[in-house]
A and B are shown apart, each in its own frame.
Chain A
């Protein structure tokens, strides 16, 4: 679905800061198109992140998150070489997963 996510995970101390840039329209469902019709809501609803296969974060998003969403969070106990996988699911049923190694 769309372009791959850009994920950067950097370890510092015993934490890894993960920055994700996802590519998604994130229609809020409030906009009207040129003909005046409401553009239906199409946005990411769930985001999960896993460290080495174990889920560490679950997030639910509403239509108010910006287009091409950005997310930053910190994982405790992650070190260089660990694998961080981020996945999202949207309200149309599409989903995507991308993985990165902590540097």
Chain B
């Protein structure tokens, strides 16, 4: 028979796990301010819940080699791996590295495209955070002829 103490201990462990893992994907996605304020790629990934960072051939980042207009750079991130929790698009040399974060569900393909602002020529990263916390990334260098932040 489980004593009350054991029940309390178990809920504390579960609560701790939930807190570090971030919101479960079926709950409302609250805006993760810490991740978007982070200035470096590593900090943003850590704030989003990714633990170890490892380059991976299974994650793809698509984008132009040279972007004519830094205010509108089409970027895509995709992966064929199962068990992805989140996909992130980051621009290394932007004032805030994280551009967008997509929370996956079973009904979604891990394949997104959007347009982002890039302040200067920089590496663009696609990061897939897996259900077990591993962060797999791929990067591509995108050269920008005209910066996109109005500066």
Q: Report A's interface with B, CB cutoff 8 A.
A: 15, 26, 28, 30-32, 45-46, 48, 51, 54-67, 69-78, 91
> Contact residues of B with A, CB < 8 Å?
25-26, 28-29, 31-32, 35-36, 71-74, 76, 91, 94-96, 98-109, 111-119, 148-151
Q: Are B109 and A75 in contact (CB under 8 A)?
A: yes
Q: When chains A and B are docked, how far (Å) is the Cα of A75 from the Cα of B107?
A: 6
Residues of B within 8 A of A30 (CB): 95, 119, 149-151
Contact B107 A58 (CB under 8 A): no
Using A31-B149, A74-B109 as known contacts, say yes or no to A65 and B103 having CB atoms under 8 A apart: no
Cβ contacts under 8 Å, B72 to chain A? 66-67
Query: Given the known A-B contacts A31-B149, A59-B101, A61-B99, are A73 and B29 also in contact in the complex, defined by CB atoms under 8 Å?
Result: no
A72 and B117 contacting across the interface, CB-CB below 8 Å: no
**Smallest CB gap from A48: residue in B:** B29
Of B32, B106, B107, B150, chain A has the most CB atoms within 10 Å of the CB of B107
Is there an interface contact between A65 and B117, defined as CB atoms closer than 8 Å?
yes
Query: Does the CB pair B114–A71 fall under 8 Å?
Result: yes
Contacts of B29 in A (CB 8 A): 46, 48, 58-60
